[in-house]
Amino acid sequence: MKSLNKISLIAPCGMNCNICMAYLREKNRCVGCRGTNTNKPVTRVRCKIKTCKVFRKGEAKFCFECKNFPCDNLKHLDKRYRTRYNMSMTENLENIRGFGIRQFLRKEDLKWTCDECAGTICVHKGACIECGKKYSAQTLTVRSR
């Protein structure tokens, strides 16, 4: 059951909601991109990727299943996350496509689990949500290999 929950926390764009600040925070916690829109930030409700017709029609679960992959919306999001957080949605999607969702989740767990307290490292803060230990972008890149 725990594995199924983690799978549902991988957004269509390849974002791991489990490491997102909106999902990790205590107050007004987001339920993840695939969850209900109740208590979800308006930016997630109106997300151009999540509300794309391919997903509305149920034709795909992830962006890489679309004939337009990577679309301009995904390229824009990917560029922002590469620049600000040293994380790539496109790379995540390529890993899911190439190795499967379960292998992707295993690698994500290794990369985003704090080696100090086993808490979750927030992609947006670059720090463990539990103990506050800071992680550099370079350290996280090495951990993902």
Please choose, from the candidates 106, 47, 40, the residue with its C-alpha nearest in 3D space to the C-alpha of residue 73: 47
CB atoms within 10 A of CB 107: 15
Which residue has tokens 């974002």? 15
Using the CB atoms, write b or e for 71-96: b if 16+ within 10 Å: bebbeebbeebeeebbbbbbebbbbb
Residue 1's pLDDT band (cuts 50, 70, 90) = very low
The overall pTM is greater than 0.85: yes
Q: At residue 104, does pLDDT exceed 70? A: yes
Summarised one tens digit per residue, pLDDT across range 106-122 is 999 999 999 999 999 99
The SS3 assignment for 134 reads: strand
